[in-house]
Amino acid sequence: MAKPVKTAATPKKRRRLFKQYAALPYIVRDGALLVMLVTSRETKRWVLPKGWPERKMKSHQVATQEAYEEAGLIGESALKPYAAFNYFKRLSETRQKRCHVEVFLFAVHRELSDWPEKRERKRRWMTPEQAARSVAEVGLRKLLRGLRLEAPGSSPSRG
């Protein structure tokens, strides 16, 4: 009878998490909370404006810059993340990166008619529930469904 061969368990390949910062643009219109989503450039999926860390910029400043570049929004970003989620960013047909996105609430003060990525993206105001039904990322969907308005004219909170 042959002896069993001992094998070491193959460790799972650890995937590095790449950090991104996103703005969650919101307004209160007629007492209703609305959030803005933009389309991604390649796949045209609905997403939050987001970007990679940049030297000499704080995370909330990156979120503010992305809201301007991708959605044409001027406003104020919270200094601390509201929430976070993970997703896979598709780089090509066969390559993807696992990303951790810190999301900053972004109070919109002004919506521009022209902005840097206007010809590459669409933007749309939606209720949090409409936005949740429009996004592919499960973590982002949960985040949007948990968004609540504390009081008319105030900042959103987690539900």
The candidate with the shortest Cα–Cα distance to 54, out of 19, 97, 105, 15, is 19
Counting as low any pLDDT under 70, the low residues of the chain are: 1-15, 149-155, 157-159
Q: Can you tell me the distance from the alpha carbon of 81 to that of 142, in angstroms, rounded to the nearest whole number? A: 16
pTM of the model: 0.84
pLDDT digits 0-9 by tens, 15-57: 688 999 999 999 999 989 999 999 998 889 999 999 999 999 9
Q: What is the CATH number of domain 17-151?
A: 3.90.79.10
Contact between 103 and 81 (Cβ < 8 Å)? yes
What are the residue ranges spanned by the domains of the chain?
17-151
